[in-house]
Structure formats: structure tokens, C-alpha cells
Amino acid sequence: MVGVQGYVLRLAVEADAKALAQVHIKSWREIYRDVFPVHVLEKLDVAMHAEHWRSVIATVPANIVVCESDRVVIGFLSLGTSNDYDSCGTAGEITTIYLDPQHWRRGYGAALMSWALSQAENRGWQRINLWSLQENHRARAFYESVGFRFDGATKLGCLSERFSDTAELYVTLIRFSRQLVT
């Protein structure tokens, strides 16, 4: 799918795994530099993350879209059916959305969200959710700007699987949701 302003949205392929890992890590290091200790963020491993994304793409390729500018992956979004206790199969979930920090606030995130909302409606979901670290104020403001609202749900998340040789990291996650017209 070709977008305006020189970017392209397209489904991810396995060859994108390393680029997704790089964007993911670069974004995490910027977003969470005041949340997690520097040594923890420095341990984020591109090869480990690339293997994760390669596996996800191979399993559910229609659930991941990449955003390219000048044929370089600058962001991505993944989604799937929500497993939340109150979803009953009628809600989807944006499981990840990341952009290279050099491309923040240029409309690429909104384009990725538009794709996700279109997919949600095509799949017949009545609602779409996403979870955010409580401390991620930048993302929370973005989610609200594209029509998501904090719905009061919270949960404790463990992020240790994202890191190598790091003690378990527990964080508070808050849920944003958006009702869809069906």
C-alpha cells in the first residue's frame, strides 16, 4: 500500500526482521532512557530481537505492517486478537507500534494507526486495545491524539524476556481502547 509524502506501508516479510529489531531497540533506548537503567537498555540485542520478529512474521505475516521511507524501514505496527479477560473475541489489540525516533511527529505513527483501525474494522472487531507502560507519557499523548482513551484497566507486566542477562523487570501497564463503528 503506497502512502502520501513519500512513504510506503506494506506487510512485513521475514527479511525485515533485523530492521524491525533495530527500530524497536532504537525507539526503546530513546523512550525509556529515563525509566530503565542505561546498562539495561544497552543490553538490548539486535540479533535476539531479530529472531523474535522473524518468528512472529513467519507465524502471522498479515498482522505486521512496516512503514518505509526511501526504502528504509522506519517503523512498524503489529496487531492481533485481544486476549484480555473482557474481550470475548470481539476486540483486537495493537501489540507493538514503534518508529525510529528521527521520524517521530511526522505523521507516520498516525498512518500506522490508520492501517490498524482499517484492519480492525475488516476483521469485525468492536474495539481495539493497546497496552502502554504507565511511564510512557509521549506514547500516551499520541494514543489519545488518535482517538484512544485510557479505560481504567491496568496490569503488571514482566519484561525480562526482552533482555539478556538482566533480572526480571516488572512494570505497570495501562490499557487504552477505542470503540469501532460496526
Burial class (CB in 10 A: 0-12, 13-18, 19+), 17: buried
CATH of the domain at 24: 3.40.630.30
Per-residue pLDDT tens, the chain, 182 aa: give them.
Answer: 444 467 899 999 999 999 999 999 999 999 988 888 888 888 888 998 999 999 999 998 789 999 998 899 999 999 999 988 888 878 999 999 999 999 988 889 999 999 999 999 999 999 999 999 998 999 999 999 999 999 999 998 877 655 555 567 788 999 999 999 75
- State how far the Cα of 95 lies from the Cα of 130, in Å rounded to an integer: 6
Asked, for residue 146, whether it belongs to a domain, the answer is: no
Report pLDDT for 2: 41
Domain span at residue 82 reads 7-128
The one-character DSSP state at 126 is S
> What is the count of structural domains for the chain?
1
Asked, for residue 135, whether it belongs to a domain, the answer is: no
Asked, for residue 81, whether it belongs to a domain, the answer is: yes
- State how far the Cα of 143 lies from the Cα of 174, in Å rounded to an integer: 12
Asked, for residue 138, whether it belongs to a domain, the answer is: no
Report pLDDT for 145: 94
Asked, for residue 167, whether it belongs to a domain, the answer is: no
Asked, for residue 70, whether it belongs to a domain, the answer is: yes
